Chains A and B, each alone.
Chain A
Amino acid sequence: MLSLPALCVGTLARRGILGTASMRAAHGHSGHVATQEDMSVPRYYDKRSFPLPDVPFHAQLGTEQKALKEKEKGSWKQLSNEEKVALYRLKFNQTFAEINRPSNEWKTVLGGIFIFFSFTGLIVWWQRVYVFPPKPRSLTDEWKAQQVKRMLDMRMNPIQGFSAKWDYDKNEWKK
């Protein structure tokens, strides 16, 4: 009984469909391949809470880029828009807008939750049909009506509770 689903999960897992990496890739979090980073030197990172990383994104610059950095040392008014953007991209990998971009992950999460809810609902339904014993005889409408009458006659909870909501003069529930 346990072997069948385990087999299916095995094949799917090998295809990487169920893996977290593929789930994250489906929502635009991909491209983060794990390599061996040297953690003993300052490194670049994109983080909301650390807006100014210790090192620039592109540490090694080509000839054109070096020329641009020299131009940056002068007045910034002589830089064109594209040059400013290029300088920014040398220093930073993502803009704040890109770091904080929303994803569609919530739809997957909510969808998964609903799938589990419905599966549980099916199980509960099956239980009601095949497992539950017959209801006690005190749950028929007739019995419940007699029970209510008895509770009112006995003045159950007459101050703020049950019988307090019944109008004994007019023989009806209070409006």
Chain B
Amino acid sequence: MAHPLQLGFQDAMSPIMEELLHFHDHTLMIVFMISAMVLYIIMLMMTTKLTYTNTMNAQEVEMIWTILPAIVLITIALPSLRVLYLMDEINNPHLTIKAIGHQWYWTYEYTDYDNLEFDSYMIPTQDLPNGYFRLLEVDHRMMMPMESPIRMLISAEDVLHSWAVPSLGVKTDAVPGRLNQTTFIVTRPGVFYGQCSEICGANHSFMPIVVESLPLQHFENWSTMSS
């Protein structure tokens, strides 16, 4: 989860999120350079002693400020497309989990082997044990095995929702009557928090997502115990 006053992204817990972090660093660097240059030019414009304002021809500078932005855009587009296509790689998932959005909770279904299905409601603040994360904790976390490609099928029962976990680099809309697929691999064990990301009514802010990733053996133990 994020800590208070956090400015940057959470640490990456999946390879795609790592790629996104690097891409963001690359693009933000370009953005900072452009902003610094624009600020410098504004400052120059405001402090000049020159007074002539009727320039008619500026062919050389026009060439420069057409070609240079085109190069900048290509420099941003190429890594962007690379990450985009990486996200769509075929990765042969080991497990399929369905996440169904309701007003205002999530249902997780593990139907590959046994019929495991449970609801995940937010723990209200008044029932929260001391030191727990307000508006983020749920009664039943979505468990999953680490270091395995997982396929998520996201849908909704009533209105639009969105299943998002920032540290995994996942955000997929839950559309009623539609199955949206996303795949990811969690590289580390741990607990990862997210929140519903599509306005869905009064308690839209109060249906968080908590993913807990475990080594495969522990996941199988949990799965057997739960179903």
Contact = CB atoms under 8 A, between A and B. Distances in A.
How many of chain A's residues touch chain B, expressed as a range? 20 to 34
Contacts of A156: 1, 3, 190
Interface stretch (A66-74, A105-113, A157-165): A157-165
Interface string B103-134: 00000000000000000000001001011111
Interface residues of B, number: 22
Contact of A150 (B6, B11, B131): B131
A138 interface: yes
Identify whether the interface residues of B are mostly helix, strand, loop, or mixed. Answer: loop
Given A48-B51, A149-B131, A154-B190, A138 B125 contact: yes
Interface in B55-84: none
Interface in B119-152: 125, 128, 130-134
A138 B125 CA distance: 8
A49 B53 contact: yes
A14 B183 CA distance: 70
Contacts of B36: none
B85 interface: no
B92 interface: no
A154 B193 CA distance: 12
A138 B134 contact: yes
Shortest 9 CB-CB distances between A and B: which pairs? A146-B131, A138-B134, A49-B53, A157-B11, A48-B51, A159-B11, A162-B3, A161-B11, A150-B131
5 contacts: A145-B131, A147-B131, A158-B11, A159-B11, A164-B11
Interface of B: 1, 3, 6, 8, 10-12, 51-54, 125, 128, 130-134, 167, 188, 190-191
